[in-house]
Structure 1
Amino acid sequence: MHKRFFVITGGPGSGKTTLVAALAQRGLATMPEAGRAIIRDQSRIGGSGWHGQDRRLFAELMLGWEMRSWHEAQALEGPVVFDRGIPDVIGYLMLYEGRVPDHPLRAAELFRYNPTVFLAPPWSEIFGQDAERAQGAGEAVATAGAMERAYRAAGYEVLPLPLAPVAARADFVMERIGTGG
């Protein structure tokens, strides 16, 4: 377990990536979200490994990304904030495929994060769709629930973020990871 590896999870459009960017501006090391980058790359090459096509392949690509991010973070100093983690892949598979193969479960056992995971809850006031986020608000709520269940099943404590401006959310995270406000 890496006590200095912190995950921010939740459904799409809940402010995760914006918060991670704000924490990076405050000097914390961060690891980017897999999903958006994979969707962009798969679209550019005409690949099928994205949410709207081959969801199993998309999950495999996300799993590989998350394991690589975990390894890369070991070389960084101090706290590292991840925009999603390996249990997100498990939540995704449960939500969209109804089952999870053994290897993502094994990855979640081997590649551990801080015991407290931050959940960005669904928040209709900031939710929006774009070229890489086709999910609607209902799907965003279902995704947040799936992520919470996946992290709890993997043995993590899930701490909801406040529905507050980005600066207040960043203060909340920084206080809880011991870096001040």
Structure 2
Amino acid sequence: MKQRYTFSINYNLRSLCIHNHLNEIIKALKSKRIIITGGPGSGKTSIINHIETLGYNCMHEVSRQVIKEARKAGIEQLFLTDPMLFSHKLMASRLKQFQEAENIHHPKIFYDRGMPDVTSYLDYIGTEYPSNFEQPCFENNYDLIFILPPWKEIYTQDNERYETFEQAIAIHNHLFNGYEKYGYTLKIVPEGTIEKRVSFILKNTAQ
């Protein structure tokens, strides 16, 4: 009886060790999802493009595509005309990006903005949204968040970037608060050359 009891304990311990080992393997195989966010004109796209040249998998910003499609339909600034319609399209596109990344087998996946950016921008303009609208932000989690602070020396405006630098600062603050609302801790990327900023990000994703 004692021998059978000892065997049972050893068997359960071995099963637990195997289970824990499998979980570690699954965790190691799972891609690390890394967000690069920040206010307009902070250098995100340049950084994402540079990271991509280094061989990393990158998910590019989708808002400009939404804007261009709206302009084809005769709406110059969809975000200003109908912020909720714009945000629904944007949230759907970013959720699709997140889901498509499940089929990408790469240690790290970088995103030019994430789903919490959508609600943060709505908070910035003071537009209310139903609680279920932010459900994807709670249910789909990223692993690391890097935020680029406003940098006046590199800030420019164009047809898609109509915000003033002062507005860019306000958007930055809403992004920071928005990500924190969903439980994230943000890493601030210091000013510098693209190479130095990318080096900072990659160093901090290796931890």
Q: With structure 2 as the length reference, what TM-score do the two structures score?
A: 0.81
Match of 1:113 among 136, 142, 151: 142
Distance across 2 between alignment mates of 1:160 and 1:145: 12
How far the C-alpha of 1:41 sits from its partner, in A, is: 1.5
**Larger relative contact order (C-alpha < 8 A, sep ≥ 6)?**
1
How far the C-alpha of 1:100 sits from its partner, in A, is: 3.2
How far the C-alpha of 1:46 sits from its partner, in A, is: 2.1
Which residue of the partner structure matches residue 172 of structure 2?
Answer: 144
How far the C-alpha of 1:33 sits from its partner, in A, is: 1.0
Higher radius of gyration, 1 or 2? 2
How far the C-alpha of 1:177 sits from its partner, in A, is: 1.2
Unaligned runs of 5+ in 1: none
Between 141-150 and 3-12, the greater mean CA deviation after superposition: 3-12
Q: How does 1:31-180 map to 2 (within 5 A)?
A: 31-47=59-75, 50-78=78-106, 79-114=108-143, 116-178=144-206
How far the C-alpha of 1:74 sits from its partner, in A, is: 1.4
Q: Are residues 1:16 and 2:40 paired?
A: no
**Secondary structure, in 3 states, of the residue corresponding to 2:80?**
coil
Distance across 2 between alignment mates of 1:6 and 1:104: 22
**Secondary structure, in 3 states, of the residue corresponding to 1:74?**
helix
Distance across 2 between alignment mates of 1:158 and 1:50: 29
How far the C-alpha of 1:76 sits from its partner, in A, is: 1.4
Distance across 2 between alignment mates of 1:48 and 1:134: 12
**Secondary structure, in 3 states, of the residue corresponding to 2:41?**
coil
- Which AA in structure 2 matches 1:123? W
Instruction: Name whichever structure is richer in helix by fraction.
Output: 2
Distance across 2 between alignment mates of 1:99 and 1:159: 28
Q: Post-superposition, which runs of at least 4 consecutive aligned residues in structure 1 deviate over 4 A?
A: none
Unaligned runs of 5+ in 2: 1-26
Alignment check: 8 A CA contact 1:49 1:61 kept: no
Question: Which whole-Å deviations, capped at 9, do the CAs of 1:45-100 have from their partners, x for residues lacking one?
Answer: 32477223211111111100110010111111221000000110110111113433
Q: With structure 1 as the length reference, what TM-score do the two structures score?
A: 0.92
Alignment check: 8 A CA contact 2:31 2:105 kept: no
How high is the sequence identity, in percent, across the aligned residues? 28
**Relative to 1, partners in 2 of residues 1:47 and 1:103: Cα closer, same or farther, differing over 3 Å?**
farther
Alignment check: 8 A CA contact 1:11 1:140 kept: yes
**Secondary structure, in 3 states, of the residue corresponding to 1:103?**
helix
Alignment check: 8 A CA contact 2:138 2:182 kept: yes
**Secondary structure, in 3 states, of the residue corresponding to 2:135?**
helix
Superposition CA RMSD, Å: 1.8
